Amino acid sequence: MDGSELEHLAKKFGIPVEKLLDWRPELKPKSKPSSLKGRPPARAAVFTPQMLALLGKRSDRKLTRSFMLSYYQVVKKRRDLGILSQWERRQHQWKPNEIAVLGTMSDKDAARVLKVTQDQVTFARRKHGIVSFQSKQKRWTRAAIALLGTDTDEAIARKLGVKRLAVVRKRTKLGIKSARARLWKEHWLAMLGVLPDAVLAKKMGITADAVVKKREKLGIAKRRLRHLWRAEDLRLLGTTPDREVAHKLGLSAEAIKKKRWKLNISAYKRD
């Protein structure tokens, strides 16, 4: 440790540098040894009164960095003195009637009823081996399994009231391909880079972002096809918002805006 770090540490605890070195001689600046052979054993950790006063008031991890000690040394000293950690102080003392509530409703609802945090409810429920309310309610029935792969994992998760990850795991376990994977038939893949992303997305009924990701994943360059503006297309400009016109013509809203500006047509304004 160099002099500036020593001064910073001494100032932090409000003690002179000399006093700090008396308590913690191992902090004295040393030249780096040429080899690890013959290095003296690590000295026992020394805690100043100011350091002891912080035990249990701050997290052990933060104190480890502040004291420049190992996590084990901080935890051992705190436990030797019988001081509870911040996390242990926050633990709720569970009564039998409160434990009986766990698993009968969602952890979020149980936390609101028992006036504790959701994390405390989840921890206590798992500690007592109680299955979550969602797991009890959302079993994988035949009807639920039949939905897998028929739509996006996000949409199925919303229908079943479970997390997306649960749907992904179940589908993968059963060897069912995702809807997106089955969506990309050979003829659609052949159109990547041929049709504009927005046009292909509209034909497939998916978002343009999904088309862009698939095209970039396959290393296919983006290709723009010049739109042939018909008279009926031009008559739409300025009559409705650019986004709606873009959707009708299969173009981007930016392309509609540029064409409208080129023809000096004002943007649509609602009355």
Q: Which range is most confident: 12-21, 155-164, 242-251?
A: 242-251
Of 101, 135, 169, which residue constitutes the final position of a domain? 135
pLDDT value at residue 261: 92
58 secondary structure, DSSP code = B
Supply 181's token pair: 């994977």
Is the same domain home to 24 and 62? Answer: yes
Q: Which domain holds residue 253?
A: 226-271
Which phi and psi angles does 222 have, rounded to 5°?
-75, 135
Q: How many CB atoms lie within 10 A of CB 185?
A: 9
- Output the pLDDT for position 38: 46
Shared domain check, 85 and 7: yes
Query: Among 22-31, 40-49, 221-230, 254-263, which range has the highest average pLDDT?
Result: 254-263
**Residue 91 and residue 123: Cα distance in Å, rounded?**
10
58 and 113, same domain (yes or no): no
Q: Which of 224, 270, 231 is nearest to 250 (CA)?
A: 224
Q: How many domains does the chain have?
A: 5
CA atoms of 79 and 81, how far apart (whole Å)? 5
Give the pLDDT mean for 26-44: 54
Shared domain for 121 and 85, answered yes or no, is no
For the chain, the average pLDDT equals: 78
- Residues 197 and 208 sit within 8 Å (Cβ to Cβ): yes
Together in a domain, 109 and 131 = yes
Co-location of 7 and 52 in the same domain: yes
The pLDDT of residue 43 is: 58
Same domain membership, residue 98 and residue 81: no
